[in-house]
Structure 1
Amino acid sequence: MSTAPLSSWNDGAARSAILDFVERSADVPPAERIATFDNDGTLWCEKPAYVQAMFILARLREQADADPALAARPVVQALLAGDLGAAAHAGGTEELVDVLLSTHSGLTAEAFAEVAAGWLAEARHPRFERPFADLVYAPMLELLELLRGAGFRVFVVTGGGVEFVRAASERLYGIGPDDVVGSAVEVAFERRDGRVVLVRQAKLMGSPNEGAPKALNIQAHVGRRPIFAAGNSAGDREMLEYATTGTHPSLALVVNHDDTEREYAYAGQSVTDPSAEAIADTAARAGWTVVSMRDDWARVFA
């Protein structure tokens, strides 16, 4: 990347708002310069499906090939056919979630991280035919670099699985696993061959990290209110509100996917609440900064 700040950003209101915010934040105590970023659709491509969803389905396909009884279940057949609606109808939401969580249950935390990192290194995006790790947004990497240079501590706050993102966050974004907040599965304490291990269970730990839980988990994990937050869907609304209703200078950034040629064009919906107000409407009402992928980014992928 260029050494110039935000070199992949076109001149415009979004770039100016970011640079202005960084200048205004210079008077904020260093310990309170906290920035939080959603992951899917904010830092890397989330279409045609969440990367973690494709990772889970790849594992399910392997397991179904090896287990005829599993392959015969209607919910599994629907999932492997790519019909999420039929999968939910076939067995209900509870069975659907159980099947998805069971794909990696029984693995230790270390084994899961190894499996996830290995898959990310080899799997390729169906449209772009590049590894998923190549589909990180170059302008957002520059923004991460700019904020770190201004003394910010940067966190990923994702609705995705925290251990999945931790397996790649340092390599992708320069963000260590201890600075990733996300949805988590329960783990069990076990001793195997004289060694303590934490073993994944087929059960979520609490609620998915989307909506209000993002703000709650920032407090639980970080212990400080962010003054910068970036997202792209209605599931990020509460995190952006939290960041912009404190006492310090703040900035909320919304990535608008409006570029069908270089990526995709779609509205960012909340997974847990599809009826929630569109994030673009919330941003317009709240005065947040909206980033047009088509107009504000000179290039998309790193």
Structure 2
Amino acid sequence: METVTIDISRALREQFIDHFAGVATEEGFLLHNHLVTGTLQDLSFGGKATVLSFKYGIEQAFIFSSVNPVNSESILLNVNLSASEMAKEINGETVVSSVRNDSAMVYYPENTKVRHRLNRGERGENIIIQLHADFLKTFFSEHEIARYLRASSYYSLWLSVHQEQLIRQLFIVENKLQSFTKLSAFLETFFKALDKRIDGLAALKVSDDDVARIRISLETHAANGKLFTVKVSELAKAAGMSTTKFNHAFRLLYDRSPKQFLMKVKMDLALEKLKNGTDSIANLSYEIGYADPTKFTRAFKKYFGYAPNKIKNQKGK
């Protein structure tokens, strides 16, 4: 299978244009070759900060690989604005990213290798932000910049509604100064969240191995189809932690408690299956861990603001 590789330490726009046969238009670039059909827009600030809007449809399956080398003096932030999930392998660890989940924003420091397969027919939208150390000097001290560049791990974070609004406005404002203002506001919220994550995990004495075990615990239960019925204590045990430490570390990693995370997983699946009409409400409630369909209906209504039979009724019309 063909592999496309992006070097994060080099100019991104030119690499996308070369790989996907970009042709200049008034609004950016039209991408069209045997692999991808889509569009690319870009903003550059002094050559030290670049923002790309990459909207694509996959014509032929291929491996998309990106590398941020040691001493690149650059970091990259990938924001997945697609509702569909995308599985990536980051330094050998699988991360599932979607605008609706905890990994909508993925931060790549130096010495990061990313690899994922894009399948024919997939469509998506990503905002890619490349920041050089010289750009970061506008906002941070040398010590802070070194901390961001040489972080021991990648980090994945939730994308808030406010952050999503800022990121979507980058390419629709009237001029570049307004775009810079939006980007600065977005980066301020991002780095605050990143600092909280790094400092919080350090204060809790949560190691990189602990973080990996938490993620592996979730992925293992998900692969076994048990993520809808598992208890938090069971996840903690699988991660080799006390329930208290697991709860604290989990909240720092995912910006919500394990219970809130598991509720989101359940309700997202329930909503998807109801829209597809693949299950009765009773069968669906049992599938996601509710012994009583009435309790599922009550939980669903509390979460979404309407009862599940509203979707069923709409499907029947």
Q: Which bracket does the TM-score occupy, shorter chain normalised? A: under 0.3
Query: Which gives a bigger RCO, structure 1 or 2 (Cα 8 Å, sep 6+)?
Result: 1
TM-score (norm 2): 0.23
The structure carrying a bigger strand percent of its residues is 2
TM-score (norm 1): 0.24
Q: Which has the larger radius of gyration?
A: 2
